[in-house]
Chain A
Amino acid sequence: MSSIRNLHNGAPSLQNLLTMARDVLMAQQSSMSVIGNNVSNVNTPGYSRQRTAMGTRPALDGNPGQFGTGVSVTEIERISDAFIVDRVRYEHSSMGRWQSQYESMMEVEQVLGEIGQGGISDALDNFWLAWEELANQPDDRAPRLNLISRSEQLSSTLQGAARNLNDMQARMNRELRSHGDDINRMASEVARLNREISTAQIRGQNPNQLLDERDRVLNELSTIAGVTVEFQDNGSANVYIGRSVLVMDDRTREINWLPENGIGKDGGNLYWADNNQAVEFEEGEAFAKIQMRDVHIPQALADLDDLANTIRDRVNELHLQGVGRDGSLNNYFWDPNGEGADDLQISQHIIENPDRIAASRISPTGDNALAHEIFELQQAAVLENGTMSFSDFYHQTVSRVATNVQDAEIRMASAAAGLEQAETWREQVSGVSIDEEMANLLLVQRSYSATSRVLRQADEMISTVLAMVG
């Protein structure tokens, strides 16, 4: 009824015209402001373009019919597709896992350093060949010194590899601990954003910037922890690691680092602070690091230890039965007190006098029988319950690591392609197109100019009326 009250003789008044023109100008200004914001954020990562949604204002009843009253801004809309955003987040978690695993497995591969010179396989071959060279010249000192040098090369190569793997394991622990801090910080960030978003929605506002910010944090969180997200009607995002809640509305569950033994230096695990249950990661960098620390690195270390222990035991077992060039008996070649790859040392007794190396079974000179037997150990099936030789066993280790690297590389490439595709989809929907914004700008500009003209005409009409009065 109020609209009828505003009508004068069934047509809108000049004041109505002025008011309408003013409101239209303001709406166009709002559009221009949104376009300006879009254009200025064209390169901002994670920014979703916005659009001014406009609606015609309620018409006024009149004679011969209703008169329109212009346009108004109904909302500043954020253009985003929840499915695509979810896909991007999933690809981030997958990428986080496989990139991390690929880089770490590559490092393990480099530690083993195979193909060509300088690797463990090379050091092993040289060690065995040095025994055969001793068999070739059992009475000379040179092959004995050569054998000591090759043995030291083998022990230092194995020690170096074991040390590097142990260092890697310790680094995984430190990085996991740091991931725990990152997850807590980002969970708090998501909880704060949840609170602000739901408050804004209650006030009827579209918190576009906060939504973008939350998507960005969730992507980052997903890269590290491989989270899943459920959105609530109040606008909150509930975040889960595995099946456990990390963020619920504006509350978070804290994650603690508790030290543990037996999983390398600085060892420990991430636990939920409220119930002391271990955090079960299913994707993301944290999952890859746990896999590396608990599966791949220990496996490589165990292989090296197995290799070193068998070399130590088998060579010593034969060496004890032999005679040194100085006639000495019952000498250990490797220090029998060592354990594992990082403690494979030549017996000090041998280093002090290389003539104590036993190449013979019977005579201190001429006899090379024992050196031959030790050389033949290289091909003897003494590992894996008598099914594999040293070479077979170590080559299998290298091959397994190589397969893991290749597998991680393929999965990383697949995750990268998936992420690239998802980002492209997101960009297609939510990205800012300069051309599109310029075209919109032209439309708004034209509309603004035209409305200004209407305003001026209305003003002239009012002036005319006022002049008549004057």
Chain B
Amino acid sequence: MRITVSARMNVLLNDLRRLQTQMFEDQQVLSSGIEVVNPSDDPTATPRILDLETQLGRQTQYRRNITTGRNRLSQSDSELNALLDLLNEARSTAVEGANEAGNDVNNAFSADRINNMIGETISIANSRHAGGYLFGGFNTQDSPYNPVYDEETGEIIQVNDIEENMDGIIYQTIEEDRRIPSNLRGTEVFQSGEPGEEGDVFQVLIDLRDALRSNDQEALEELIERIDDVHAQVTSGLSKVGNLVQQYDNALSRIIDDDIQATDALSELQDADMAERIAMYQLHEIALQNTMNIGSSLFQTSLLNFLS
């Protein structure tokens, strides 16, 4: 076989080029920690990597949704607990009023307390979270419950809701293909029927105030039952909130698990095996040094050196 200087030079240059390219690729992988830098590095893994990146993006959004929904429900829970406290107090007042029939002074005093309670209940019903009303359904920007005042006494005689869109349920997506409510509607706890009719918490308190003021024992006894009814209505709403919060918490824990799995899968597909890469880099470096050594001595030996 005839081996010429050019042939040896070409082989040397090709080897050097190949090794330099491999070392460049090693360097890119080592500095980024990622094996699949361009889609063409692994066309089969690429769609899966992109899918996982999309999935992780959606899961991050679901976490935000869960936080928003859960916070809204947590505040609803606090507000409804405060309402239950008020109703418990109202019931005690009604029982006391019924027992102390004829004690006008005490009942008048209690009526004033209940009158205040009506205002507090309206405040609870109009409570806000992150700038939006909690119990107004889709009416997040206008106060959902508005009192009607007696022109003479200035006391609240009825509470009307805003009517429109009070039934709106605000849903949050908490995981793939799953949306659950993030609000409890006022129509479920404060006024389950028309204003002034059965299931109206405000009206029960208004009637209680008036019964105490008029010292109407029969009405007070009837009101104890009505308070129990609305108490059950609020408790039912509270339990609904608790159930929803539980669903949010469960979804969050599933998303955390999904995140771990997706991140693991992404890492498996994309991340470099650093130990293996470093070993490969060292192998390529040794090969490059050897090639350079050979190259430097390759052209020293020639018949020219021995001709005078």
CA of A419 to CA of B165 in the docked complex: distance in angstroms? 76
A135 at interface (Cβ–Cβ under 8 A)?
Answer: yes
17 A-B pairs (CB sep. < 8 Å)? A106-B40, A109-B40, A122-B53, A135-B173, A137-B68, A362-B138, A363-B164, A366-B136, A366-B170, A369-B171, A378-B54, A379-B176, A391-B50, A398-B50, A399-B44, A424-B7, A433-B3
**Contacting residue for A434 out of B38, B172, B270, B302, CB 8 A:** B302
A428 lies within 8 A of B3 (CB): yes
A396's nearest neighbour on chain B, judged by CB, is B47
When distances are taken between beta carbons in the complex, the residues of chain A under 8 Å from B53 are 121-122, 125
Where the two chains meet, the residues of B that have a C-beta atom closer than 8 Å to any C-beta of A are 1-7, 10-11, 14, 36-40, 42-44, 46-47, 49-51, 53-54, 57-58, 60-61, 64-65, 68, 130-132, 136-142, 164-165, 168, 170-173, 176, 179, 270, 302-304, 307
A44's nearest neighbour on chain B, judged by CB, is B6
A366 lies within 8 A of B39 (CB): no
A433 lies within 8 A of B140 (CB): no
B50 lies within 8 A of A115 (CB): yes
A139 at interface (Cβ–Cβ under 8 A)?
Answer: yes
B170 lies within 8 A of A429 (CB): no
A71 at interface (Cβ–Cβ under 8 A)?
Answer: no
When distances are taken between beta carbons in the complex, the residues of chain A under 8 Å from B6 are 42-43, 427, 431-432
B7 lies within 8 A of A114 (CB): no
When distances are taken between beta carbons in the complex, the residues of chain B under 8 Å from A432 are 4-6
Chain B CB within 10 A, most for which of A114, A136, A438 = A136
CA of A161 to CA of B289 in the docked complex: distance in angstroms? 42
When distances are taken between beta carbons in the complex, the residues of chain B under 8 Å from A342 are none
Where the two chains meet, the residues of A that have a C-beta atom closer than 8 Å to any C-beta of B are 42-43, 105-106, 109, 112, 114-115, 121-122, 125-126, 129, 132-133, 135-140, 360, 362-363, 365-369, 372, 375, 378-379, 391, 394-396, 398-399, 401-403, 405-406, 409, 420, 423-424, 427-429, 431-436, 438-439, 442
A91 to chain B, nearest CB (A): 14
When distances are taken between beta carbons in the complex, the residues of chain B under 8 Å from A379 are 176
CA of A395 to CA of B49 in the docked complex: distance in angstroms? 9
B13 to chain A, nearest CB (A): 10
When distances are taken between beta carbons in the complex, the residues of chain A under 8 Å from B132 are 139, 365-366
B38 lies within 8 A of A109 (CB): yes
A386 to chain B, nearest CB (A): 18
- What would 7 more interface pairs be, CB under 8 Å, given A365-B140, A401-B39, A434-B304? A125-B53, A125-B58, A375-B173, A398-B46, A402-B42, A428-B7, A431-B4
CA of A391 to CA of B11 in the docked complex: distance in angstroms? 46
When distances are taken between beta carbons in the complex, the residues of chain B under 8 Å from A109 are 38-40
When distances are taken between beta carbons in the complex, the residues of chain A under 8 Å from B47 are 395-396, 398-399
A438 lies within 8 A of B46 (CB): no
CA of A138 to CA of B136 in the docked complex: distance in angstroms? 15
When distances are taken between beta carbons in the complex, the residues of chain B under 8 Å from A420 are 10, 14
* Given A366-B136, A367-B168; A121-B50 close (CB under 8 Å): yes
CA of A413 to CA of B141 in the docked complex: distance in angstroms? 66
A99 to chain B, nearest CB (A): 14
CA of A244 to CA of B270 in the docked complex: distance in angstroms? 49
When distances are taken between beta carbons in the complex, the residues of chain B under 8 Å from A435 are 302-303
When distances are taken between beta carbons in the complex, the residues of chain B under 8 Å from A135 are 65, 172-173
CA of A265 to CA of B11 in the docked complex: distance in angstroms? 43
A431 lies within 8 A of B2 (CB): yes
B171 lies within 8 A of A402 (CB): no
**Contacting residue for B170 out of A43, A114, A125, A367, CB 8 A:** A367
When distances are taken between beta carbons in the complex, the residues of chain A under 8 Å from B165 are 362-363, 366-367
B48 to chain A, nearest CB (A): 9
When distances are taken between beta carbons in the complex, the residues of chain B under 8 Å from A126 are 57
B138 lies within 8 A of A424 (CB): no
B66 to chain A, nearest CB (A): 10
CA of A372 to CA of B61 in the docked complex: distance in angstroms? 12
CA of A110 to CA of B178 in the docked complex: distance in angstroms? 37
B138 lies within 8 A of A409 (CB): no
B7 lies within 8 A of A372 (CB): no
A117's nearest neighbour on chain B, judged by CB, is B53
CA of A119 to CA of B14 in the docked complex: distance in angstroms? 35
A427 lies within 8 A of B173 (CB): no
When distances are taken between beta carbons in the complex, the residues of chain B under 8 Å from A378 are 54, 58
B47's nearest neighbour on chain A, judged by CB, is A395
A362 to chain B, nearest CB (A): 6
CA of A360 to CA of B165 in the docked complex: distance in angstroms? 12
A360 lies within 8 A of B39 (CB): no
B171 lies within 8 A of A428 (CB): no
When distances are taken between beta carbons in the complex, the residues of chain A under 8 Å from B270 are 115
B61 lies within 8 A of A363 (CB): no
CA of A379 to CA of B62 in the docked complex: distance in angstroms? 15
